[in-house]
Amino acid sequence: MSQPENARGSTVERAEGEVVDLCRELIRIDTSNYGDHSGPGERAAAEYVAEKLAEVGLEPEVFEAHPGRASTVARIEGEDSSRPALLIHGHLDVVPANAADWTHDPFSGEVADGCVWGRGAVDMKDMDAMTLAVVRERLRTGRKPPRDVVLAFLADEEAGGLYGARHLVDTRPELFEGVTEAIGEVGGFSFTVNEDVRLYLIETAQKGMHWMRLTVDGTAGHGSMTNRDNAITELSEAVARLGRHEFPVRLTKSVRGFLDELGDALGVELDPEDMDATLARLGGIAKIIGATLRNTANPTMLGSGYKVNVIPGQATAHVDGRFLPGHEEEFLADLDRILGPRVTRSDVHADKALETTFDGALVEAMSTALKAEDPIARAVPYCLSGGTDAKSFDNLGIRCFGFAPLQLPPELDFAGMFHGVDERVPVAGLQFGVRVLDRFLDAC
């Protein structure tokens, strides 16, 4: 049950004031995920979140799937607990950062040039902080959401979520009892078309993945000898073919929906056969959208040999493969054709693609909340080129969206912030996100 606008405004102002400090403090907790348990883990961040939630009367639980790899979960009782519940999830881990490459130390949480800087500023300690700020202020003032809300602050998303979301879904599914819908990262951010229209991209789909190892066996021998069966040569040629291959354009429902909305906002009919011209109009989000037009396979690692004068008997490579919803079989068939019969491929990590429709009361709540804070807002669907913890929650039948609302300056290279150097989030964007999330919770 929502409060009058004047009462709501005073409480949201306090949350706006707190969100920056929460984001900075989370960034200062190094949760770098190297994928091999050599990093610091998420335990300190999980305990920090649990403390912040306990301060306002919740009873959070911390779950440790592996030493140091911890997640925090709590449930907020809604006005009507008989209704299906909502999940808000965010991850606590971040990819590593080399401080020497950054303008400001990546774990300082420094505020400069109107932004909070640091690893995790957009991926995704910003959303963690916005969620905490909104929830803490609502609970302080007794503002219950219309229905139960489950909060999950998770470990290990940057390495596939095996010690975070996937662990909880597999071992503690009762934590998510009654949950039918969820919001998480990489959605709700703005793209300014012109002074009359600002699109906010709601993630309704994400590509699936095949992280794979490629292997070629050859004949070992002396480096001075002629060798027609060199494993490195065979693998290098296959990797080069794959790296240069351009997969065909495949427009999924979510991508088609985005392009239709973009064309309408621009007042033009976009040509599916000329995607380069379309991407040229998208500025900082071109990389995000461009990667959802087709399947992709990028070589990322090569390995072979142990001495310069020894031809090795085996060569290996690793590839990051991503496929669009509904196109996994086509992708795998294309891989085998491109690589050829000498190359053996095996999955290092594989996960499904997801897609839901852009409709329903939750979508309407997102759109209404955005419009209330930005009169020229238009919510539109889009497909994420990567993957999130939504893949795990989908296993429980939960309908997942990406909605971590941010209003961004048009000149910010938002795509470049993800896993990039000098990651940062505008302070005004965080405060906008707090206002939108608060309205969203009232409407959902």
Residues 407, 271 within the same domain:
no
**What torsion, rounded to 10 degrees, do the Cα atoms 434, 437, 439, 442 define?**
-130
Quote the pLDDT of residue 56: 97
The answer to whether the CB of 155 falls within 8 A of the CB of 45 is no
**Which has the closest alpha carbon to 413: 403, 398, 425?**
425
In the chain, which residues have pLDDT < 70? 1-10, 272, 284
Residue ending a domain, among 298, 330, 351, is 351
Residue 307 lies in a domain: yes
Phi-psi region of 41 (alpha: psi -120 to 50; beta: other; left: phi over 0): left
Residues 151, 275 within the same domain:
no
**Amino acid, single-letter form, for residue 252:** T
Residue 67 lies in a domain: yes
Residue 333 lies in a domain: yes
Residue 186 gets which letter from DSSP? S
Quote the pLDDT of residue 289: 82
Phi-psi region of 203 (alpha: psi -120 to 50; beta: other; left: phi over 0): beta
SS (H, E, C) 12-40: HHHHHHHHHHHHHHHHHCCCECCCCCCCC
Residue 112 lies in a domain: yes
Residues 166, 223 within the same domain:
no
Residues 387, 242 within the same domain:
no
> Which residue intervals of 245-382 are DSSP H helices?
253-266, 275-279, 286-290, 328-339, 361-373
Number of helices (H), then strands (E), in the chain: 13, 19
Residue 143 gets which letter from DSSP? -
Residue 3 gets which letter from DSSP? P
Location of structure tokens 């033009």: 268
Residue 147 lies in a domain: yes
CATH number of the domain where residue 85 is located: 3.40.630.10
The answer to whether the CB of 48 falls within 8 A of the CB of 127 is no
Residues 236, 311 within the same domain:
yes
Using one digit for the tens of pLDDT, what is the confidence trace for 167-180?
A: 999 999 999 999 99
The answer to whether the CB of 38 falls within 8 A of the CB of 44 is no
Domain total of the chain: 2
Assigned token pair, 152 = 């999950």
SS (H, E, C) 228-284: CCCHHHHHHHHHHHHHHCCCCCCCCHHHHHHHHHHHHHHCCCCCCCCHHHHHCCCHH
Residue 184 lies in a domain: yes
Which residues have a Cβ under 8 Å from the Cβ of 230 and sit 6 or more positions away? 218, 219, 311
Q: Return the half-sphere exposure (C-beta side, CA atoms, 13 A cut-off) of residue 339.
A: 25
Location of structure tokens 């940062």: 424
Residue ending a domain, among 313, 336, 351, is 351
Residues 151, 252 within the same domain:
no
Q: What's the rounded Cα separation, in Å, for the pair 244 and 170?
A: 39
Residue 195 lies in a domain: no
Q: Which backbone phi and psi does 25 adopt, to 5 degrees?
A: -65, -40
Residues 65, 209 within the same domain:
no
Residue 94 gets which letter from DSSP? B
Residues 181, 220 within the same domain:
no
Furthest C-alpha separation in the chain:
83
Q: What's the rounded Cα separation, in Å, for the pair 426 and 116?
A: 6
Residues 136, 31 within the same domain:
yes
Assigned token pair, 369 = 């909340």
Range of the domain at 29: 5-189+380-443
Where is 165: in which H helix or E strand? helix 165-171
Residues 183, 50 within the same domain:
yes
Residues 400, 341 within the same domain:
no
Q: Return the half-sphere exposure (C-beta side, CA atoms, 13 A cut-off) of residue 177.
A: 7
Residue ending a domain, among 335, 351, 367, is 351
Assigned token pair, 376 = 């020229």
Quote the pLDDT of residue 1: 43
The answer, yes or no, to whether the previous bond of 124 is cis (omega within 30 of 0) is yes
Quote the pLDDT of residue 392: 97
Residue 372 lies in a domain: no
CATH number of the domain where residue 275 is located: 3.30.70.360
Residues 417, 336 within the same domain:
no
